[in-house]
Chain A
Amino acid sequence: DIQMTQSPSSLSASVGDRVTIACRASQSIRDYLNWYQQKPGKAPKLLIYAASTLQDGVPSRFSGSGSGTDFTLTISSLQPEDFATYYCQQSYSTLVYTFGQGTKLEI
């Protein structure tokens, strides 16, 4: 299976900060990279797909970039509701879409 590695594992930030989360794949996955947000006790929510396309309804302060093996998720100006755990996921390998270990974003 393709391995996904996120960094950092946790991140402390403040409202209004710009934050970046990195994700690296163990092999090239072109742009088959998704980002999800998960809040405690809730199911994950799709934020970004195909590395940089914003899911409908997701605020424009979220953005994604990268291709090949290195990707980033950026939140341009943190809002209180953005404090959550973020996961990257590769969807290059047919229906075995592995996740990164997650990045917990804390105040």
Chain B
Amino acid sequence: EVQLVESGGGLVQPGGSLRLSCAASGFTFSTYSMSWVRQAPGKGLEWVSGVGPSGATTYYAESLKGRFTISRDNSKNTLHLQMNSLRAEDTAIYYCTRILSYRSDHWGQGTLVTVSS
């Protein structure tokens, strides 16, 4: 059974940093692209970032370039999202997803990031 379990969310002050992780199991992690999608409270889904199977290729929503960094550790079946210079508008649930042929076929339960002083 495919499982994606996010962790690392919490309360952080504006300007601070946070590193999210997503532990994957139940499939061959190193053969799939992965992504992060977020959802601000009461709002819609927003694509954050994607990474290819090897980790060599990374992609970001235009509005987030430069502050967020996606990475993966295929030896540990783990996806990461390093978030720097956080702002109040980054407050959201962050979901990890598996990409199968151009679609997110599995989603984690999400981890909540709150940016507030």
Contacts and interface: CB of A to CB of B under 8 A. Distances in A.
Of the four ranges (under 10, 10 to 19, 20 to 34, 35 or more), the interface on chain B belongs to: 20 to 34
Secondary structure type dominating chain B contacts = strand
A1 B45 contact: no
Given A44-B45, A95-B59, A96-B50, A32 B102 contact: yes
A35 to B, nearest CB: 10
Interface stretch (A60-68, A74-82, A98-106): A98-106
B102 A43 contact: no
> What range describes how many residues of A lie at the interface?
20 to 34
Given A43-B95, A91-B102, A98 B107 contact: no
B61 A95 contact: no
Interface of B: 33, 35, 37, 44-47, 50-52, 57, 59-62, 95, 99, 101-105, 107-110
Contact of A46 (B35, B47, B104): B104
B104 A1 contact: no
Nearest to B45: A99
Contacts of A102: 44-45
B104 to A, nearest CB: 6
25 contacts: A34-B102, A36-B45, A43-B109, A43-B110, A44-B107, A46-B104, A49-B101, A49-B105, A87-B45, A89-B47, A91-B103, A95-B33, A95-B35, A95-B52, A97-B35, A97-B102, A97-B104, A98-B47, A98-B61, A99-B44, A99-B45, A99-B46, A100-B44, A101-B44, A102-B45
Contacts of B102: 32, 34, 49-50, 91, 97
Contacts, number: 71
Among B47, B61, B103, the most chain A Cβ lie within 10 Å of the Cβ of: B103
Contacts of B109: 43
Interface of A: 1, 32, 34, 36, 38, 43-46, 49-50, 55, 85, 87, 89, 91, 94-102
